[in-house]
Homo-oligomer: A and B are copies of this chain.
Amino acid sequence: MNNIISKISDSELSVMQVLWAYEEALPMTIIRKSIEETSQWDSSTIKTLLRRLCEKGAVSVEKRDVFYYRPLVTEKQYNDYSTQVFIDKVYRGSAKTLVAALFSGNKLKKDDIEELRAMFHIESEGVEND
């Protein structure tokens, strides 16, 4: 699975994100229209990306009247894995260092911090981890 995830390229990810945004398998038409809203890729490009995603095992196709494409990797799986890879690469594995950097770089707004503090609070009272 992680094997599959690590092969998804940035352009391919954009296509996956469209698939993740809907609940059901999608035909080209929908994918194309959805992507046209934010990018100017030729439909040819989208077709290539879908084909590559299928080859990599990240998407399956189902023949109905037309092909329907369905993600085989969930967004959470992708996000969790690629976050870990990113943290290992840039922050030598320390999630805490990353969060501290976000905080001191003002990437977290006051409201965000309130929310996170509440989360952290519940956790530190109710659960033991590590």
A residues at B contact (CB < 8 Å): 10, 13, 78-80, 82-84, 86-87, 89-91, 95-96, 98-103, 105-117, 119-121, 123-124, 128-130
Contact = CB atoms under 8 A, between A and B. Distances in A.
Contacts of A100: 115-116, 119
A83 B90 contact: yes
Nearest to A82: B90
Contacts of A116: 96, 99-100, 103, 116, 120
A120 B116 CA distance: 9
A120 B103 contact: yes
A89 B86 CA distance: 12
Contacts of A130: 106, 109-111
Contact of A113 (B89, B103, B120): B120
Given A83-B98, A101-B80, A117 B121 contact: yes
A96 B115 contact: yes
A117 B115 CA distance: 11
A92 to B, nearest CB: 9
Nearest to A119: B103
